Structure 1
Amino acid sequence: MTALIRYQLELLLRSHRLMPPALCYGVLMVLGLSGGDDPLGGHAWSAGLLLPVTAWLVRCAVTAEPAAARACRVAAADARRVHRADLLAALLAAAVLAAAGAAAVIATGGRSAAGPGPALLGGLAATAVCVLLGLAVGALCNRPVMSSGPFGILAALGAAVLVLMVPFAPAHVVVRALVRAAEHGELDLTGSVLPALLAAAVFAAGAVAAAAELAARRGE
């Protein structure tokens, strides 16, 4: 599995497929961050951006190679393992962007009303929630679940918006909790952020497993 993930990461780097989502995330981070603001607001902005960006990275990973090259990998390993490695490679790439974004928020932010410890924990948890949900959205809106490219892109965009906007959705819950804490100084980690993180992890694991199983059945 490690070799498959390393191969996919090298393929993404050499093909420059990582550049558009990374540049988009970087530009929007620059536009959205203001020096001296509460870091919780910056973490909320970064987390919200990472959800569609992670779904975009998943699409880059599962479409990075020609059909013949992917068929060779499937024959050498297993369709289930190959697809799981592609998704994990996208997750690692998103984690790198998330770390860079968190560092930028900490470097440019001022004092948090909730305190430095809760602000950091809340920001990291919200980031993890949105990255995991972006992984799930990407897994369910690309091959082998959705074979049509244009339809998959629209479906991923719509799903990302819904996950961020629908009340009680984990991403909406954590982003709202961070924004509220930036305004009022109280961050409810155990009552809202951590349950949302658990729900996002379960949903992402299920989406990855379902997509990998479907890839194995179709031999893709």
Structure 2
Amino acid sequence: MTRYQLMLLLRSQRWLPPVLLFALLIVAGWFGGQQYGDSLGWCAAMLVPATAYLTRTVLTGEPAAARACLAAVAGPRRAHLAALYAALAVNTLLAVVGGGFEWLVSSPPPGLAHPPLAAIALHGSVSILVGLLSGTALGALCAPPVLRRPAAGVLALAAASITLLVAPVSPVNAAVRAVFTSSSASATTSDPLLPLAAAALLLALAWAAAVRTAGRTEGS
């Protein structure tokens, strides 16, 4: 079922707008010689709206008749979970490509007091994972069956994306701040494990709510 959802997405080409949005955001924040930590943190932040948008695209791309048939055969909860797995798969690919691009076009912090590049890469990868999980969770909550009206889903997605990026208590905000090597004189980074745990919990709760809602909706 997950493979079916992936093929449906690729053939529809509805993946183009969120992917182009992510590419535009990455290019808009790219400056020649930008530090590794800053670039990876920027990628993590921009993954939130892009992966949320892409998740919503996956969850709304199946025709109503086909969705009803799949739900009747496999069960509404399994069918919706398969779509969520497909969204997570394409979002992971987007995160890998975006993180790889940022690493290639960036440079180490100036001076000799910067942390090892391996530590910057590790911490930056964790921050990207935080953005990936948070955006995927957000997309699941801003799509049917949780939010059925398209306008409400889009507005909620935009508002929640901004909140996750700017709110100090947000796991994304904390993860990005942890890896910005230009935010301190010593250019240090820290491992955003606590934001990662919060993002994983957010994803689990969002998926549980979406799958449970799908089961109730199809069963009623």
TM-score by length of structure 1 reads 0.93
Aligned to 2:39: 42
| Offset at residue 31 of structure 1 (A) | 2.5
Q: Which amino acid aligns with 1:154?
A: L
Q: Which amino acid aligns with 2:138?
A: V
Aligned residues: 213
Q: Secondary structure at the match of 1:36?
A: coil
Answer yes or no: is 1:150 the counterpart of 2:151: yes
Aligned to 1:84: 81
- Give CA deviations for 1:85-123 in whole Å, capped at 9, x if unaligned: 111111111111111111111111111433211111111
In the alignment, the residues of structure 1 paired with residue 107 and residue 202 of structure 2 have an alpha-carbon distance, to the nearest angstrom, of 34
- Which residues of 2 match residues 5-154 of structure 1 at below 5 A? 5-112=2-109, 113-154=114-155
Q: Which amino acid aligns with 1:31?
A: A
CA RMSD of aligned residues (A): 1.3
| Offset at residue 166 of structure 1 (A) | 0.8
In the alignment, the residues of structure 2 paired with residue 89 and residue 182 of structure 1 have an alpha-carbon distance, to the nearest angstrom, of 36
Q: Which runs of 5 or more structure 1 residues have no equivalent in the other structure? A: none
Q: Which amino acid aligns with 1:75?
A: A
Aligned to 2:194: 195
- Give CA deviations for 1:70-91 in whole Å, capped at 9, x if unaligned: 0011011111111111111111
In the alignment, the residues of structure 2 paired with residue 43 and residue 102 of structure 1 have an alpha-carbon distance, to the nearest angstrom, of 6
Greater fraction helix: 1
Aligned to 1:162: 163
Q: Secondary structure at the match of 1:219?
A: helix
In the alignment, the residues of structure 2 paired with residue 141 and residue 30 of structure 1 have an alpha-carbon distance, to the nearest angstrom, of 26
| Offset at residue 55 of structure 1 (A) | 0.7
| Offset at residue 177 of structure 1 (A) | 1.7
Q: What is the percentage of aligned positions where both structures have the same residue? A: 38
In the alignment, the residues of structure 2 paired with residue 86 and residue 159 of structure 1 have an alpha-carbon distance, to the nearest angstrom, of 21
In the alignment, the residues of structure 2 paired with residue 165 and residue 186 of structure 1 have an alpha-carbon distance, to the nearest angstrom, of 21
Q: Which runs of 5 or more structure 2 residues have no equivalent in the other structure? A: none
| Offset at residue 36 of structure 1 (A) | 2.2
In the alignment, the residues of structure 2 paired with residue 117 and residue 182 of structure 1 have an alpha-carbon distance, to the nearest angstrom, of 17
In the alignment, the residues of structure 2 paired with residue 48 and residue 5 of structure 1 have an alpha-carbon distance, to the nearest angstrom, of 27
Do the aligned residues in 2 keep the contact of 1:114 with 1:182 (CA within 8 Å)?
no
Q: Which amino acid aligns with 2:75?
A: D
| Offset at residue 27 of structure 1 (A) | 2.2
| Offset at residue 38 of structure 1 (A) | 0.9
Q: Which amino acid aligns with 2:38?
A: G
TM-score by length of structure 2 reads 0.93
In the alignment, the residues of structure 2 paired with residue 60 and residue 45 of structure 1 have an alpha-carbon distance, to the nearest angstrom, of 23
